Amino acid sequence: MALLEVRNLKKHFPLKTGILSRTIGHVRAVDGVSFTLERGETLGLVGESGCGKTTVGRSILRLIEPTSGQVIFNDQNLLALDRAQMRQARASLQIIFQDPFSSLDPRMSVGQIIAEPIRNYLKVSRREIGHRVAYLIDKVGLHPEQMSRYPHEFSGGQRQRIGIARALALNPMAIICDEPVSALDVSIQAQVINLLIQLQEEMNLSYLFIAHDLSVVEHISDRVAVMYLGRIVELATDRELYQNPQHPYTQALLSAVPLPDPGIRKQRILLEGDVPSPLNPPSGCAFHTRCAERDEVCAHQEPTFRDLGDDHWVACHLR
């Protein structure tokens, strides 16, 4: 039994206009996403801006209320829980945000930020909270004397460490990492990636790792899902996905990544145009407007998400 199972998750944002707020359409940010996350595993969720990857992460935690679907976490359907139950469930399912500048309260000290979830959820003495905070601060590589400082006194990488400590405060089983390193410089990015890997090994954490950087995702993930316009188009183990991509979009995406090796001259698949609007996604396969291999069927019929064997899933008529 997977730790987290997402079934046919949808989030359609109504688009309203005028003083009467009439709904004139829906932005289909997430349009039928299914995947599982095993215990101790990292599932990478990649895609370009606007593909809905962040909305998936937030819908799972119900920070955004999904339109339909099921989210089974630890044998509980999160979407069926009431507020109080959901609050309890969030203790084991945490999130780290992209921007370490806006995700920490500037008026709370680091110690208070990390202690807050403990105070909110556990009935423990002040002393115990102090011990726990000191332990967490050490765990993420900060110094105990930094506990009374405020977020603005820290660099981006250190702030991300504070966010990680806060997420770890309640000993969660899984963490949704929403672009946790994309705002950081490369040398700092490596420090935070290493920290996440090390914490996972020590605490058997599961990560849903949401990012747009394909190299980072490949590095940290065990399996990778590629999203395009609100849907997963391909899902496989990282090795399989990067060595043997099947979906034309995945192939184009991977060929576009510049490699730090001047000797390699890659054959690049250049996609034409931009990602279409999720307000009015193309019929059939959403990628067909930009696909070099498109066939007649692609414009009319939506491809099913099929297993090609070895747990390599792809949504394409031609495979």
Partner 1 sequence: MSGEIKPLLAIRGLHTQFHTFEGIVKAVDGVDMEVFPGETLGLVGESGCGKSVTALSILQLLRCPPAEIQGRILFEGINLLDLGRERIRKIRGNSISMIFQEPMTSLNPVLTIGEQIAEAIFLHQRTSKHEAWERAIEMLHTVQIPEPRARARDYPHKLSGGMRQRAMIAMALSCHPQLLLADEPSTALDVTIQAQIMDLMQRLKEEFETSIVLITHNLGLIAEMAKRVVVMYAGKVAEEAPVEDLFKEPLHPYTQGLLGSIPWIGRKLKTGRRQLQEIPGIVPSPLEMPQGCRFHPRCPRVMGVCREQEPAVVRLADHRLVSCWLKAE
Fill in the per-residue mask, 151 to 180: x = in contact with partner 1 (CB under 8 A), - = not in contact. Answer: ----x-xx----------------------
Strand partners, 42: 207
Nearer to partner 1, 118 or 137 (CB): 137
Q: Is 61 exposed, middle or buried (0-12, 13-18, 19+ CB in 10 A)?
A: middle
**Which one among 61, 122, 170, 188 touches partner 1, defined by CB under 8 A?**
188
Asked if 86 is part of the footprint of partner 1 (rule: CB under 8 A), the reply reads no
Question: Which CB, 212 or 319, lies closer to partner 1?
Answer: 212
Closest distance to partner 1 from the beta carbon of 205 (Å): 14
Number of residues written out for the chain: 319
Q: Are 301 and 269 in contact (CB under 8 A)?
A: no
Within 10 angstroms of residue 197's Cβ, the number of other Cβ atoms is 14
State yes or no: residue 99 binds partner 1 (CB under 8 A). no
CB-based contacts of 281: which residues, under 8 Å, 6+ apart?
A: 28, 31, 229, 230
Kindly state whether residue 242 participates in binding partner 1, applying the rule CB under 8 A.
Answer: yes
How far apart CA 62 and CA 241 sit, in angstroms, is 29
Cβ contact 212:48 at 8 Å: yes
Of residues 114-143, those binding partner 1 (CB under 8 A): none
Ordered strands of the 42-46 beta sheet: 93-96, 174-178, 206-211, 42-46, 223-228, 231-237, 313-314, 306-307
Nearer to partner 1, 117 or 281 (CB): 281
Q: Any contact of residue 233 with partner 1 (CB under 8 A)?
A: no
Structure tokens at 12: 């359609």
H or E, element range at 307: strand 306-307
Q: How far apart are CA 66 and CA 273, in angstroms?
A: 30
Nearest to partner 1 of 47, 172 (CB atom): 47
CB of 203 to partner 1, least distance (A): 15
Among 134, 197, 203, 308, binds partner 1 (CB under 8 A): 197
Tokens of 146: 């930094």
Piece of the chain touching partner 1 by CB under 8 A; list 10-18, 98-106, 166-174, 183-191:
183-191
In the complex, minimum distance from the CB of residue 137 to partner 1, in angstroms, rounded to a whole number: 17
Nearest CB to partner 1, comparing residues 245 and 284: 245
Q: What are phi and psi of 35, to 5 degrees?
A: -165, 170
**Size, binding site for partner 1 by CB under 8 A:** 45
CA of 138: how far to CAs of 94, 124, 145, 150, in Å?
19, 20, 10, 17
Q: Which two tokens stand for residue 287?
A: 């990628």
Rg (CA), the chain: 21
Is residue 256 a contact residue for partner 1 (CB under 8 A)?
yes
CA 307 – CA 236 distance, rounded (Å): 9
* Comparison of 112 and 182: residue with beta carbon closer to partner 1: 182
Show contacts with partner 1 in window 201-220 (CB under 8 A): 212, 214-216, 218-220
- Of residues 253, 298, 314, 316, which one binds partner 1 by CB under 8 A? 253
The interface region with partner 1, picked from 18-26, 27-35, 150-158, 161-169 by CB under 8 A, is 150-158
Binding residues for partner 1 (CB under 8 A): 48-49, 155, 157-158, 185-191, 193-194, 197-198, 212, 214-216, 218-220, 238-239, 242, 252-264, 268, 270-271, 273-275
